[in-house]
Structure 1
Amino acid sequence: MLAKANRIVSATDYRRLVRSGRRARGSLTLAYGHRSAPGAPLRMGVIVARNVGNAVVRNRVRRRIKAVGWALAQDVEGLDVVLRALPSAAAADFTQIDGEVRRLVGVLRERA
C-alpha cells in the first residue's frame, strides 16, 4: 500500500492531472503526469472504472498498480501521476502491469 505522502486523494488533484498533465499510453494503462516540487515524493493515484470488470477484478488491478507505485516511490521524486486502468488490464498478470507502469512513469518523468 502506498504511504499517505505518496497518495493523490483530492478530486481537484485528479482533475488537474487528467486535464492538464502529460499523457503516456500503454496497452494496459493510460498515465497522466505533472512535475511537482523538486525533491518532493512521487504521488500516485489510480482510476479503475467499471469497464475493467467486476469489483473483484477492479480491486485486483488496483492493488497491482499500487504495489508497483510503492516500489517506484523509493526511486522517483518530483512527479505526480494518475494511472487509469484500461479493460485489457483485467487479463494481465503482475509482471505485465509492473513493466508497463514503470515504463510509463519513466516516459512521464522525461516529458514533464
Structure 2
Amino acid sequence: MLPRENRLSDPQEFRTAFRTGAKGTSGHVIAHLAHTRESHAPRVGFVVSKAVGNAVVRNRVKRRARAWAASRLSALEPGELLVVRALPAAAEADWTQLTGSLERALRRARRRQDSRAEA
C-alpha cells in the first residue's frame, strides 16, 4: 500500500506528468516521469483502462503495480511524479513479468529525462 503522501490523485498532476514528463515504454506498461519544482514527496499514480480487461483483471494489475511502486519509492526523488499506464498485455503478465516491465519503463523514462536535462 502506498502512503497517502505518495499517492497521485490530483488530475492536474496527472496532466503535468503526461504533458511534460519523459516517457518510458516496455511491453506491458508506459511510465511517465516528471520532475516538479515543488519539494513534496514523490507521488505515483496509475491508469488502467477497460482495454486491459474486466474489473477483476484491472484491479489485479493495479494492486501489483502499487506493490512494486511501494517498494521503489526510495529510488524516486522528492518532487517527482510517476504515472504508470498499463497496456492490454499487462492482463496476461505474471508478477515477475510485470515488475520487470515496470523496471524497464522507469529506467527508460529516467534515461530520457536525464538526456533532456543535459540538453
CA change 1:22–1:75 in 2 (3 A) is: closer
1:8 maps to what in 2? 8
Point out 4+ residue stretches in structure 1 off by more than 3 angstroms: 36-41
**How far apart are 1:30 and its partner, in Å?**
0.8
- 1:1-112 equivalences under 5 Å are 1-37=1-37, 40-78=40-78, 79-112=80-113
Q: Distance in 2 between the 1:74 and 1:24 partners? A: 19
| Aligned amino acid, residue 90 of structure 1 | A
Deviations along 1:35-80, one digit per CA (max 9) or x if unpaired, are 1359753311000000000000000000000000000002322321
| Separation (CA, whole Å) in 2 of partners of 1:106 and 1:42 | 16
Q: Which runs of 5+ in 1 are unaligned?
A: none
Gap runs ≥5 in structure 2: 114-119
Mapped partners of 2:24, 2:76: distance in 1:
17
Question: Taking structure 1 as reference, are residues 43 and 37 closer, same or farther at Cα in structure 2, changes over 3 Å only?
Answer: same
Amino acid at match of 2:93: A
User: Which of these two proteins has the greater Rg computed from alpha carbons?
Assistant: 2
% same residue: 36
Structure-2-length-normalised TM-score: 0.85
Distance in 2 (CA, whole Å) between partners of 1:38 and 1:13 is 12
Corresponding residue pairs, total: 112
Cα–Cα, structure 1 residues 40 and 107, in superposed 2: closer, same or farther, change >3 Å?
A: farther
- Give me the whole-angstrom Cα distance separating, in 2, the residues matched to 1:96 and 1:38: 33
